Amino acid sequence: MKKRHNILVLSLIMALGIKAAEPQRLILNATESPESAVALTFRFCEKVDTGKVQITENAPDVKLHTRAETLFLTPEIVYTDTAETLAHYVCSSRLRGLKEDTEYAYRAGSGADWSPWYVFKTAKRGFEPFTMIYLGDPQWGYMTYLPRLYDKAVRTAPDAALWYVAGDLVDYPYENWQWDAYFKGAEQVMTRFPHIMAVGNHGYLWAYRNKRDTLPPTWRPHVTQPENGPEGLEETCYYIDYQGVRLIVLNGNERLKDQADWLKQVMKKNKNRWTVVGVHQGFYPCGWERDYPEYRELFVPLFDKYGVSLVLQGHDHAYTRTWPLRGGKIVEDPSKGVTYVISVAGAKQYPIKSKFTDLYAVQKAEGLQYFQTLSFTQDSLVYKSYTVDGECHDKLVIKK
């Protein structure tokens, strides 16, 4: 009976034109050495013994496959549903030894089945101006409203070096279809731009439901992020230095004190021109009268002391930007304070309701989809927020 079932599934797959060993959920993640390495994660939904990656410098001819270096990977079997019925064969790789400031072509596959060739670029050593994209929560609208946002963001900043997503990638991380839809909807950007991602409270939903406070097994199979944070928080709390900018991502869901201790050490040795922090939960929330005083107590003095320019958050499903703040007070000059932004990319939307918005917000908006660009030069950081139609509705220039 089982054999017959397998034959039926195989016939269906063939009828649909789907290759059994087709690599899915491809994502590029930035590494802590972005000038010489990039991380690539993908999975198969059929059993595969060996996954493969080919990589070579990009070129206009059609012989990339003859020159490419091939890496062989052993897939890790993981389950991303609560019932542990759906096995995934996940390949996580760090492609190292790359040349700086160079365009590479890569593809992933197994046997004779390959993805298309995709192209990305490595970072340059030392300070070099660049632009990055920042998105608030995707979470709803993976295949309906989000693709138009990715498309507009790419048209607005086609050469963005990095994409940062502020957590709550999917609504229910134990629902396999949501990961499928999220990755499918974001394919055009995940395969081309190295991502850094914060984990949101929805990343932890499985754990909360099971009364556990540890990271659920749905996170690490989907991303391959730096492991330079506190022990046990690998791939959720980390930093990267990208062309003279330190980007620090915090995990707002657990062990905040350990992260504050780690952050202090990371900041002391920071020689970068600019520092930006990404975290899911808002320090000055704009929805549902939320308030997380322990976040402010632990981190705000460090952000003030060590010259963080911007804190990029999500979680409240609306848009707010605070005045520059120092010690909880508004300061005039953005270079003398820390600006806190909350944004949302996806279709899940909340109304703004918060004492913090009344006190501190210089700009607020709700009910729309937004994306942001941050452009760094030696003496300025230009921050812009766009609505999904490409209109810039908010802008801040921080001068050094």
Query: Residues in the site for Fe ion, rule: CB under 5 A?
Result: 137, 139, 168, 200-201, 315
**Residue 76, strand partner residues:** 90
For the bound state, the minimum distance from the C-beta of residue 346 to Fe ion, rounded and expressed in Å, comes to 8
| Cβ neighbour number for residue 368 with a 10 Å cutoff | 14
Closer by beta carbon to Fe ion, 72 or else 208: 208
Terminal-residue alpha carbon distance, the chain: 70
Closer by beta carbon to Fe ion, 352 or else 396: 352
Closest residue to Fe ion, based on beta-carbon distance: 168
Closer by beta carbon to Fe ion, 57 or else 289: 289
- Report yes or no: 240 and 274 within 8 Å, Cβ to Cβ: no
Q: Which pair of structure tokens corresponds to residue 224? A: 């391959």
Closer by beta carbon to Fe ion, 137 or else 187: 137
For the bound state, the minimum distance from the C-beta of residue 202 to Fe ion, rounded and expressed in Å, comes to 6
77 vs 47: CA distance, rounded Å: 9
Q: At what angle do helices 176-185 and 146-156 cross, to 10 degrees?
A: 30
Locate tokens 């501190």: which residue?
360
Three-state secondary-structure class, residue 383: strand
Closer by beta carbon to Fe ion, 114 or else 134: 134
For the bound state, the minimum distance from the C-beta of residue 7 to Fe ion, rounded and expressed in Å, comes to 43
Closer by beta carbon to Fe ion, 93 or else 313: 313
Locate tokens 């806190």: which residue?
340
Three-state secondary-structure class, residue 91: strand
| Cβ neighbour number for residue 283 with a 10 Å cutoff | 24
Q: Which pair of structure tokens corresponds to residue 75? A: 């897939």
Pairing of strands 162-165, 38-44: unpaired
Closer by beta carbon to Fe ion, 107 or else 222: 222
For the bound state, the minimum distance from the C-beta of residue 94 to Fe ion, rounded and expressed in Å, comes to 29
- Report yes or no: 200 and 314 within 8 Å, Cβ to Cβ: yes
For the bound state, the minimum distance from the C-beta of residue 132 to Fe ion, rounded and expressed in Å, comes to 21
Q: Which pair of structure tokens corresponds to residue 239? A: 């930093």
Closer by beta carbon to Fe ion, 172 or else 323: 172
For the bound state, the minimum distance from the C-beta of residue 137 to Fe ion, rounded and expressed in Å, comes to 4
337 vs 326: CA distance, rounded Å: 5
- Among the listed residues 255, 132, 257, 116, the one whose alpha carbon sits nearest the alpha carbon of residue 191: 116
For the bound state, the minimum distance from the C-beta of residue 78 to Fe ion, rounded and expressed in Å, comes to 23
52 vs 50: CA distance, rounded Å: 7
For the bound state, the minimum distance from the C-beta of residue 283 to Fe ion, rounded and expressed in Å, comes to 14
Q: In angstroms, what CA-CA distances link 44 with 20, 74, 205?
A: 8, 12, 24
Closer by beta carbon to Fe ion, 23 or else 203: 203
For the bound state, the minimum distance from the C-beta of residue 234 to Fe ion, rounded and expressed in Å, comes to 21
